[in-house]
A and B are shown apart, each in its own frame.
Chain A
Amino acid sequence: DQQVKQNSPSLSVQEGRISILNCDYTNSMFDYFLWYKKYPAEGPTFLISISSIKDKNEDGRFTVFLNKSAKHLSLHIVPSQPGDSAVYFCAASGANAGNMLTFGGGTRLMVKP
């Protein structure tokens, strides 16, 4: 059973526009969420996180929104740049899972110049 789902395997966006990546989760015990970016042949790079006590966290061009009632979070990138082209993973942790991160399957973002 996949507890964290990223239903869009890929997304294509024009440079300068907004990229919106979505993530859904099923485990109501999850209370901390992270986004990682991954380039080919490299490890995931931490981007931004959000605790369940918040509904928004912003860091530069990256904003994460959390809707607890819908068990949904999204990552907004504004403006999108070609260097943002990568695979984006959302991950979650919860009180019943220790320090383990549960990852979604990833969304491949392509930002076209």
Chain B
Amino acid sequence: NAGVMQNPRHLVRRRGQEARLRCSPMKGHSHVYWYRQLPEEGLKFMVYLQKENIIDESGMPKERFSAEFPKEGPSILRIQQVVRGDSAAYFCASSRSGGRQETQYFGPGTRLLVL
């Protein structure tokens, strides 16, 4: 499977716990984007990363959220001390290069439910 992979597909957490979402980009892609979709809404940009660098985090909430894309391994979106409002679908996308008109290809998403 050469597509964008995300795991887990579903994640249930209690309020106050931590959530870790993983994303492996398509083969040959070194640029990763995270988006969040709340129920009945469109996707909202969160963060754009290249290997070992955060390029644009203008969409990330100021607290509790962090993202990384290490030299080896998947990109991680981490949410500390989750609250019910964090319940959403989190999608990762990747692109081959950072060209602005480079198509972003999306993974299947992680559906986070906070109890």
Interface residues of A (CB under 8 A from B): 4, 6, 32, 34, 36, 41-46, 49, 51, 89, 91, 93, 95, 98-106
User: Which of B98, B105, B109 meets A99, CB within 8 Å?
Assistant: B98
Interface contact A44-B45, CB-CB below 8 Å: no
Chain A hits for B95, CB < 8 A: 99
Q: A43-B4, A44-B43 are in contact. Are A32 and B101 (CB under 8 A)?
A: yes
Interface contact A44-B58, CB-CB below 8 Å: no
Chain A hits for B42, CB < 8 A: 4, 6, 89, 103-106
Interface contact A43-B55, CB-CB below 8 Å: no
Interface contact A98-B103, CB-CB below 8 Å: no
Chain A hits for B101, CB < 8 A: 32, 49, 51, 93
Chain B hits for A101, CB < 8 A: 33, 35, 43, 45, 104
Interface contact A43-B109, CB-CB below 8 Å: yes
Chain B hits for A102, CB < 8 A: 45
**Is B48 engaged at the interface, CB distance under 8 Å to the other chain?**
yes
**Is B106 engaged at the interface, CB distance under 8 Å to the other chain?**
yes
Complex CA distance for A89 and B40, rounded to whole angstroms: 12
Complex CA distance for A99 and B29, rounded to whole angstroms: 15
Chain B hits for A46, CB < 8 A: 103-106
When each residue 77-114 of chain B gets 1 if its CB lies under 8 Å from chain A and 0 otherwise, what string results? 00000000000000100010010111111111101000
Complex CA distance for A111 and B100, rounded to whole angstroms: 33
B15 CB to nearest A CB, Å:
25
Complex CA distance for A51 and B101, rounded to whole angstroms: 8
B33 to A, closest residue via Cβ? A99
A93 to B, closest residue via Cβ? B100
Interface contact B103-A49, CB-CB below 8 Å: yes
Complex CA distance for A17 and B91, rounded to whole angstroms: 32
Complex CA distance for A91 and B35, rounded to whole angstroms: 12
Q: A98-B56, A99-B33, A103-B44 are in contact. Are A43 and B106 (CB under 8 A)?
A: yes
Complex CA distance for A99 and B72, rounded to whole angstroms: 23
**Is B22 engaged at the interface, CB distance under 8 Å to the other chain?**
no
